[in-house]
A and B are shown apart, each in its own frame.
Chain A
């Protein structure tokens, strides 16, 4: 089995030390960092997402895989930066104000990194203005999480703050978390909804596609 397959399998099985060793070996063998990322890490996280959706793995296994992926990503990151590796886009993510729950958010954050996104993880209990700042710093998508019925209404405040700052048009907003539904997402004017960590990646990709297409349409008018 080649290095790429070994790297893929180590991440899927959640063997962090082995994933790091395979990523290092791949670089030593002259495999481009971008290839190791695309065909090793990203492919692995796609496999993990599929296994999760099929009910073959659950949250603990997914966390173990995601941590193995991020460990290997640290090995590749300097080369990816050096070689001008392409990013899928930049996502600012955080749990809304008043809510300290972050396991789901962390898992989404890692899944996004494993899909080639630059992730600006703002943490938990995040004030609306910090999301606004993150957009000014280049985030194209904002991903909001909440576990509680009492705090999920804060998502609407974040969207309001983004609108007030005049940034709503240039950013996609995806929401998720236990009490959040598609209806709620629609009601507060979010662009996307994700029911779990696996579908969050798809939701971000879809929303980002729409934002970029809209940007393209707007561009000639500028």
Chain B
């Protein structure tokens, strides 16, 4: 048993970082992505924007682990989904192997700095200085692009909500006047300042020994989280989500041309980032566009092949030819019918492996694709079991998933997407306690 769980179960008191944990993390993740068994299955929590935890859950977990005195605030490091900081002490406590590096500005185009105290979801928080903490008269919170309050608001967190969602700002669409540049305003050459920030972060994180997951944006072709243009003051082009989805059918050439130009920009940026940091990243986040719904693919396999796959292939080929980085794709939902093509597009790691969606059976996924793509996710069902199940059910599922996906390497343990708000803290403790107990190779038979 990990020192933390021994300590917390005994006294609920302070935490001793597990000895030697930091030094082997990077190699552990690299072996996993190379489909080899390391000493144990690597664990990600908070390495990326889709592998983290809602700030209120981070607070409760830190308190339960005895990492902080009561009332110690937790930083909101990602204001869109209100993700909490997975700080070094929490990583040590849980044995986390992955850290993230991204651009200096967040999804709304402002920096996470000048921290100020706030309270929401019944927990004390620290939020960036530009984060809107004054509610509207109806209790909602409005986010402004680049914190510019002279522009129309770009996102809203409802009074009863737990994070922000885009406010659609769509001018009337005139097909005669539509110009691909309209949907490219948010993409452009990366600034020297951003390169310096990325280099500085890499230098800061390398000594931790953890695997670094880079997320520099710009390669998520058609990710509806960003189609509305949350950083833009007055977005042009197609920004309404229904219009966007319909454009995949009615304006495929326009969409293709947007992706084509976006891809050129992204690859030029990657070349500059790689020149600055070399092969220090273990993996890079390529795309987070969702291709699945709960019941099946969101789009047809044919549409994936004609409109998305060409760009996924181009990005993967460039990265593999020019860097030592592995490539990471995130797509929620049931994507079983698309996986032949997604795997064929050359991705190294698949996330979040939503096994709670139709046709996403863990055994079948591992059996069919396990030798060609690593599963970075699929560790626990966050839709039903983690929030609503019992600690025993969580323990059983974690044990089973480690056994199935961990076989022969090719698995980075991660919850299926971010841990949401409202998860009982006993369930969080059961989750990470089970990971700690069952992640070592050789794996048991699960009996």
* Chain A residues with a Cβ under 8 A of chain B: 14, 55, 57-61, 63-64, 67, 97-101, 103, 106, 125, 148-151, 154, 178-179, 181, 195-196
Contacts and interface: CB of A to CB of B under 8 A. Distances in A.
Chain A's interface: helix, strand, loop or mixed, by majority?
loop
12 contacts: A55-B296, A57-B300, A60-B245, A63-B246, A98-B161, A100-B156, A100-B165, A101-B165, A149-B382, A150-B420, A150-B422, A195-B295
A151 B160 contact: yes
Contacts, number: 83
B242 A100 contact: no
Contacts of B14: none
Given A58-B298, A98-B160, A125-B160, A149 B383 contact: yes
A63 B297 contact: no
A60 B304 CA distance: 12
B354 to A, nearest CB: 10
B303 interface: yes
Chain B's interface: helix, strand, loop or mixed, by majority?
loop
A-B pairs, 8 with minimum CB distance: A98-B160, A100-B165, A98-B161, A178-B294, A60-B245, A125-B158, A179-B383, A97-B160
B271 interface: no
Interface string B377-407: 0000011100110000000000000000000
A97 to B, nearest CB: 5
Interface string B144-185: 000000000000101111100100000000000000000000
B165 A60 contact: no
A61 B296 CA distance: 14
B420 A148 contact: yes
A14 B250 contact: yes
Contacts of B421: 150
Contacts of B297: 58
A103 B384 CA distance: 22
B382 to A, nearest CB: 7
A60 B303 contact: yes
B112 interface: no
B241 to A, nearest CB: 6
B246 A181 contact: no
